[in-house]
Chain A
């Protein structure tokens, strides 16, 4: 606790212009809350002159974030969605790009997004509900009672991988490999997963080869409703280069993995930290419907997204110049009291729980939002069906070293029957 208050003081003492929220250790230590509260109050559209990634703007208030997110004419996504642009482009002339249509503007964005969007539409998802429930139930049934174990690896990773393998159409036995690829796509050197840009690229190339082989197989089969089949049979996707194909696969892998996995763990943590809300949910399981979006808001699994200004533009009294990098901090906007009443509280029966920024807004809004909500709803429903007294978190949580993905890599728990 001593180091926590010392660090808090340190950030309070900084001149406002010296605040640099691109430092991933802030998020690893879960210290972002007071820093963003200060930015929202004192300098909501904030310019950082110097950082390891160069200069950038931070947009920290709810309404300003929606304004940027839904204005793709002024705020381009092309090679601009990450603070560290090397992550999207890779390093070197033949590097494998990641991010697919997430890092594109219209019209290419719309064309490529529409290839895969039918797989994630509610009508298609409904057909997976039974399977997800059965697998969730099985995974929970095998958990030890009264003994400590790691929920993040045992439950969250396992459930998310099973679903992703199913939806993508990847053979079920290869789901562990999917997790590795997801970590590598999201990774940067020094984060404990990736050692160097070269090693990362060689793994991405291995992923590309594996998916190209799967695509060949799918082309010879009848079209089905999984994502690989859609990519294999789409006339538009025929014209994609191997690298473009790999890039689009990467966004589906990482989009359906980290996000839901971490939200599942975050839900367990939130109910441990707020026993009154757990009691409320147990007493009234119908609250699952509003608890799900509240968990997604509370955790904010993707904390930020970047854009680049295509022209000079005024926002919150500041002039953003053409070519400037702009970061939207969803993790901050989701705590903005001026937009969300009692934003600093975890409340599972909020009046408008789905008004949050975690899925983004505008044309890049999360394609898998309804899938994520469905997975989390089934997850909570099946936990409640076990009628456990509570799930205790027994050790401090380890967060990922990232200013983008809010990863919970370890969540030691004990289930009380």
Chain B
């Protein structure tokens, strides 16, 4: 199983074994990682699973869709490495992916 690393704003690290084909948001919710809310259930409609992709991983994770960009526009503190975790699907190629979490979800 690919490993995902979620790092909270305070530095706390969560390393989890992620099932492929789930989204990073679903993985976080299953492991009860506080701070990834996923209120809309994974439709890029609420921006409560905002994460910052660790820079070396940006290319492999890929770019957000136009719709996702519009939701990210409204997320607090969004940057060029921002993604909605619900739109990042776990694949074997993403084994070891590091995602940084904002201080709070809006």
Q: Which residues of A does B touch, CB under 8 Å?
A: 66, 69-70, 72, 106, 110, 113-114, 117-118, 120-123, 352, 354-355, 359, 361-363, 365, 369-370
Is residue B15 within 8 Å, beta carbon to beta carbon, of the partner chain?
no
Q: How far is the CB of B106 from chain A (nearest CB, A)?
A: 6
Confirm or deny: B1 has a beta carbon within 8 angstroms of a beta carbon on chain A.
no
16 inter-chain pairs at a CB distance below 8 angstroms, sorted by A residue, are A66-B43, A70-B40, A70-B43, A70-B45, A117-B76, A118-B76, A122-B103, A355-B39, A359-B39, A361-B40, A363-B70, A363-B71, A363-B74, A365-B46, A365-B47, A370-B104
Instruction: Give chain A residues whose Cβ lies under 8 Å from the Cβ of B106.
Output: 117, 120-122, 369-370
State the Cβ distance, A362 to closest chain B Cβ, in Å: 5
**Beta-carbon contact of B43 and A361 below 8 Å:** yes
- Please report the number of residue pairs spanning A and B whose Cβ atoms sit closer than 8 angstroms: 59
For residue A69, which residues in chain B have a CB less than 8 angstroms away from its CB?
45
Min Cβ gap A337→B in Å is 16
Inter-chain contact B45/A121, CB cutoff 8 Å: no
Question: Which B residues contact A (CB, under 8 angstroms)?
Answer: 37, 39-41, 43-48, 67, 70-71, 73-74, 76, 103-106
CA of A118 to CA of B47 in the docked complex: distance in angstroms?
15
Residues of A within 8 A of B39 (CB): 354-355, 359
**Are B45 and A66 in contact, with the CB atoms below 8 A?**
yes
B73 neighbours in A (Cβ, 8 Å): 110, 114
Contact of A123 with B43 in the complex, beta carbons under 8 Å:
no
**A122 → chain B closest CB, angstroms:** 3
Chain B residues near A106: list those with CB within 8 A: 70
In addition to A66-B45, A117-B74, A354-B37, 14 A-B residue pairs with Cβ atoms within 8 Å of each other are: A66-B43, A70-B43, A70-B45, A70-B67, A106-B70, A114-B73, A355-B39, A355-B40, A355-B41, A361-B45, A363-B70, A365-B45, A365-B47, A365-B74
Chain A residues in 8 Å Cβ range of B41: 66, 352, 355
Query: Please, which residues of chain A bring their CB within 8 A of the CB of B104?
Result: 121-123, 370
Q: How far is the CA of A359 from the CA of B106 in the complex (A)?
A: 12
In the assembled complex, which residues on chain B have CB atoms less than 8 Å from the CB atom of A361?
40, 43, 45-46
Q: Is the CB of A121 within 8 A of B70?
A: no
Residue of B nearest to A293 (CB): B39
Whole-angstrom distance between the alpha carbons of A264 and B46 in the complex? 24
Residues of B near A370 (CB, < 8 A) are 104, 106
Residue of A nearest to B47 (CB): A365
In angstroms, Cα B74 to Cα A110, docked, is 7
Q: Which of B44, B46, B48, B76 contacts A121 (CB 8 A)?
A: B76
Inter-chain CA distance A394–B60, complex, in Å, is 61
Question: In the docked arrangement, what's the CA distance between A123 and B106, Å?
Answer: 10
Residue of A nearest to B70 (CB): A363
Which residues from B are CB-within-8-Å of A114? Answer: 73-74
Closest B-chain residue to A124, C-beta based?
Answer: B76
Which residues in A have their C-beta under 8 angstroms from that of B45? Answer: 66, 69-70, 361-362, 365
Contacts of B48 in A (CB 8 A): 354
- Cα of A121 to Cα of B39 in the assembled complex, Å: 17
Closest to B67 in A: A70
Most buried by B among A106, A117, A121, A359: A121
CA distance A122 to B106 in the complex (A): 7
Q: Which residues of B contact A110 (CB under 8 A)?
A: 70, 73-74
Q: Which residue of A lies closest to B104 (CB)?
A: A122
Minimum C-beta distance from A353 to chain B (A) = 10
A341 CB, nearest partner CB in chain B, Å: 13
Give the CA-CA distance A354 to B45 in the complex, in Å: 13
**In the bound complex, do residue A66 and residue B74 qualify as a contact, i.e. CB atoms below 8 Å apart?**
no
Contacts of A369 in B (CB 8 A): 106
Cα of A361 to Cα of B103 in the assembled complex, Å: 22
In the assembled complex, the Cα of A113 lies from the Cα of B74 at a distance in Å of: 8
In whole angstroms, what is the CA distance A365 to B84 when docked?
16
Chain A minimum-CB-distance residue to B74: A363
In the complex, the answer to whether B74 meets A122 with C-beta atoms within 8 Å is no
Q: Are A70 and B44 in contact (CB under 8 A)?
A: yes
Known: A117-B76, A354-B37, A363-B74. A122 touches B43 (CB 8 A): no
List, in ascending order, chain B residues with CB within 8 A of A120's CB. Answer: 106
- Alpha-carbon separation in the docked complex, A352 to B38 (Å): 10
CB distance from A369 to the nearest CB of B (A): 8
Bound CA–CA A106/B71 (angstroms): 11
Considering the complex, give the chain B residue whose CB is closest to the CB of A370.
B106
Across-interface contacts of B74 in A (CB, < 8 A): 110, 113-114, 117, 363, 365
Which residues of the other chain, B, contact A121 by a CB distance below 8 angstroms?
76, 104, 106
In the assembled complex, the Cα of A365 lies from the Cα of B43 at a distance in Å of: 13
What is the distance, in angstroms, from B63's C-beta to the closest C-beta of chain A? 19
A339 to B41, CA, bound (A): 10
